[in-house]
Structure 1
Amino acid sequence: MIPAEDKKKYILNSVDNALSLFNLFFDYEELTVNDIAKQLSISRSTAFRFAVTLENRGFLTKTDHATYRLGLNMFSLGMLAYNRMELVSLVHPYLQKLAEECGETCHLAILDDAVHVMFIDRALGTNQLKMETAMGYRQFAHMTATGKAILAYQSAQTVNEYIKKTEFRQMTHHSVKDASELLRLLDTVREEGYACDNEEAEYGLTCYARPILDVTGRSFAAVSISGPTTRMEKNKHDHLERLQRLVDHVVQTIV
């Protein structure tokens, strides 16, 4: 962590000013370029470039009377952050209980973008040898049980886009080799209701995951149990039942 007194030398003034511009909207619904320049103590030409750049990326929108308002991308980011926090708050007590019951590390994950799954919550098990994935860790979805659980319940278009953009790297000789193998695995996930990472990312590590589905049948997250392969295989049936109970509790709470 960078000491507070040293942070100033790493700050980019242009980015800092752009973020300060966003903060103005806590007090103002609309702003002209002159308003922005005055409030931030910057030149009008600089304020204009900030506004045009942010409008181009959808974070500001320009009105018919030449003022700027917050754009839809800003709203979308805010809702995304809110929903993630709400999801973690809702699932965490169940995740903690699951980890205590099974003794293994349990995760909550979402599809972060077109190709990555992100782990947004974790509960550590009681067993000495455990998996400790950092919060915010991202990985290609097909290389994780949670990722495959989520992909299996996405639209065909989403899966096809994923295949176009992903890299089928071979981390172990169990890793998914190509798109054809991934599609077969996703069919299996839909048939069985759960996904596996059978030492596909790391030798000696196995993971089981179940998706959390919305009312339309689309997945918006997945929960998993991870641990040493020998222990996981021995307790597979119990782990899958526990995961299903967690998913049922979460879905009932949402509905």
Structure 2
Amino acid sequence: MPAQRPPRTENVAAVLKVFSVLEALVAEKRVGLADLAQRAMTSKSTAHRLLQTMVDLGYVEQDPETEKYQLTLKLFSLGARSLHGQADILRVADPVMGRLSRATGESINLGVMDDHENFVTYIHKFDSAYNLAMKSTLGYRNPLHSTSLGKALLAWRDASEIADRLAKMDFAKLAPRTITDGATLAAQLTGIRAQGFAEEIEESEAGVRCMATPILDHLGHSVAAISISFPLFRFDEARKADYVALLQGCGNEASRALGYAGAALGTVEGGQRP
């Protein structure tokens, strides 16, 4: 008689524990068994069993001297291969991002929208030339509603998708001026689409101001967005028009390279929904 399969809820619980262990290893780099068990909210014996399986599969290794665990590069390799589908976006974005970086000296980021959750994921960046600047990490995720990248991505999506995503957002307040309701964000998105760029001032992080513009595919839908991030004290209001022109020029160039043939960002035609 074949063995009975464990209940579905047990399978789900096991998967959740595996990912809790992985996230703890990502956050802390090197972690002892007791700390990992506590972070994953499971017993030491369960954590040890999961870790041993990950060691056997080559995703985790244990330091023989400290007995602490850390991730190997195998997981990084999986993540890098998952970006293969974004190769065209990276190809067209990298040169224009480099140009933005040289022109402003500020942090330049490239983000894509999560297909299943209301987050933007950072997939490429140019660090600031200044010591005091916004620091981003590749693979890091931020909520769509609080970031200029997220707003730029949302504004160039179909109205039905925008409505669906707004209905599912929790609008967590992350900084002094985070948008906390759907009506306000919806109104902003209309203006963003018309002007050709998105902006946020202390909505994601106190003391930081960002602006972003989308990269559009051949259908005119956003597939990525490019942002410039400034510390508030270093933003020159007198140069804002220059920053916007640079940013939109880069977005337009990258979009054309992906096959977009519509009106340029920031034009009257570009401000109307298709």
Give the TM-score of the pair, scaled to structure 1: 0.68
The residue aligned with 2:249 is 245
Residues 98, 11 of structure 1: CA spacing in aligned structure 2 closer, same or farther, 3 A cutoff? farther
Aligned-pair RMSD on alpha carbons?
2.9
Q: After the TM superposition, which residues 119-158 of structure 1 pair with which residues of structure 2 at under 5 Å, given as runs? A: 119-158=122-161
Gaps of 5+ in 2: 1-28, 32-48, 58-78, 260-274
Q: After the TM superposition, which residues 150-229 of structure 1 pair with which residues of structure 2 at under 5 Å, given as runs? A: 150-229=153-232
Question: What are the superposed Cα offsets for residues 179-238 of structure 1, whole Å, 9 maximum, x if unpaired?
Answer: 101101101101111101111112210000011112222111100100112322523211
Which contiguous aligned blocks of 4+ residues in structure 1 show a shift greater than 6 angstroms?
77-80
Question: What are the superposed Cα offsets for residues 118-170 of structure 1, whole Å, 9 maximum, x if unpaired?
Answer: 11110012223211111111011011001000101111221122122221112
**Partner of 1:12: helix, strand, or coil?**
helix
The residue aligned with 1:10 is 51
Matched residue count? 193
| Aligned-partner Cα distance in 2 for 1:202–1:78 | 28
Return the index of the structure with the highest Cα Rg. 1
Gaps of 5+ in 1: 17-76
The residue aligned with 1:110 is 112
**Partner of 1:118: helix, strand, or coil?**
strand
| Aligned-partner Cα distance in 2 for 1:212–1:90 | 9
Contact preservation (8 Å) 2:148, 2:200: yes
**Partner of 2:138: helix, strand, or coil?**
coil
Contact preservation (8 Å) 2:218, 2:258: no
| Aligned-partner Cα distance in 1 for 2:50–2:157 | 44
Give the TM-score of the pair, scaled to structure 2: 0.63
Question: What are the superposed Cα offsets for residues 58-110 of structure 1, whole Å, 9 maximum, x if unpaired?
Answer: xxxxxxxxxxxxxxxxxxx9996322233223311221221111010001111
Question: What are the superposed Cα offsets for residues 17-63 of structure 1, whole Å, 9 maximum, x if unpaired?
Answer: xxxxxxxxxxxxxxxxxxxxxxxxxxxxxxxxxxxxxxxxxxxxxxx
Query: Percent identity between the aligned chains?
Result: 28
| Aligned-partner Cα distance in 2 for 1:96–1:78 | 21
The residue aligned with 2:18 is none
**Partner of 2:235: helix, strand, or coil?**
helix
